[in-house]
Amino acid sequence: MASLKEVKERIKSVSSTQQITKAMKMVAAAKLRRAQDRTVQLRPYSEKLSALLANVSSGNSDAGFDTYAVEREVKKVLIVPVTSDRGLCGAFNTNIFKAVRAMMQTNNLSDRDVEILPIGRKSYDFFRKKGFTVIDNYYEVFGDLTFDNVREAAEFAMEGFVNENYDRVVLVYNEFKNVATQIVRTEQFLPIQEIAPEAGEATTNTDYIYEPSKTFIIEELIPKSLKIQFYKAVLESNASEHGARMTAMGKATDNAGELLKELKLTYNRTRQAAITKEILEIVGGAEALASS
């Protein structure tokens, strides 16, 4: 049985840890609120723009539309895994790494067929250590998360596709659902895919009227909308990260509380045993004196 001093030191250590995890949970909750607001505000606009973009691109055979919608034989793939800069957020980052491996296996891609554009330090560190070809210019965007910083990473992926450096660009990120739930998404960023109609939804051929001109839409709207989709994925991951960290730190705080209860019970039992032992020794000594 551990001594009273050891149990007391253990209680002190667990109490300190509980205070830290509780503080981290509160910080994550505050950051989550801001990140969630940004994500929720952008989501409807992004989804509608994405649907419009896919429909317009699929209904046109102009060279400009084919710039981002052309299907080529897949020889080189750029994967954009979006993770966090720090840990202590449960399986948040591990799920992304597993999703990348699963996607590669499904598409029969080897490490040589893939280049990684990491978003987040954890993603950069993981894939660099695994020996992948890693583009290391944009992984620190969470240090100053703005559209302009994310736009640079999106432009790199888009230019790589247009220049045929990559035949496909895939985003892998956590979509925010609620504090306790994050859904891993593997989405094809390029080439642009036509959105299939939902079950029971009738297909219609839409004859679009382009204002101010079709050329303007090709050259301006489509690239901008692609950057918005990229930015949305990063915002979704950012909100998911804070939700995952809040949940993980909440569980850690609760576990520390349960452990403290057990340690205090052990401490009381140990102290009681020590007191009982001392009483028995005193009684035994008194009886020995009396008999002598």
Q: Is 89 one of the annotated active-site residues of the chain?
A: yes
pLDDT at 60: 56
pLDDT at 273: 84
pLDDT at 93: 97
pLDDT at 280: 84
| H/E stretch holding 81 | strand 77-81
54 is a domain residue:
yes
Backbone phi, then psi, for 225, in 5-degree steps? -70, -35
Give the residues of the chain that fall short of pLDDT 70.
Answer: 1-2, 53-66, 194-207, 214, 292
- The number of folded domains in the chain is 1
12 is a domain residue:
no
Query: Do 88 and 245 contact (CB within 8 A), yes or no?
Result: yes
**3-state DSSP call for residue 148?**
helix
188 is a domain residue:
yes
Pick the catalytic residue from 24, 89, 119, 263. Answer: 89
pLDDT at 3: 81
Q: In the structure, how many helices (H) and strands (E) does the chain have?
A: 7, 5
pLDDT at 205: 58
pLDDT at 193: 76
pLDDT at 51: 74
pLDDT at 23: 96
| Residue 222's CATH number | 3.40.1380.10
Lookup result for tokens 């691109």:
57
Q: What is the DSSP string of 134-152?
A: E--SSTTGGGG--HHHHHH
53 is a domain residue:
yes
pLDDT at 216: 75
**pLDDT tens, 68-110?**
888 899 999 999 999 999 999 999 999 999 999 999 999 999 9
131 is a domain residue:
yes
- Closest residue by Cα to residue 73 from 110, 133, 113, 116: 113
1 is a domain residue:
no
Here the tokens at position 246 are: 């809040």
pLDDT at 29: 94
Residue 97's domain spans which residues?
A: 23-195+206-250
Here the tokens at position 261 are: 């209860």
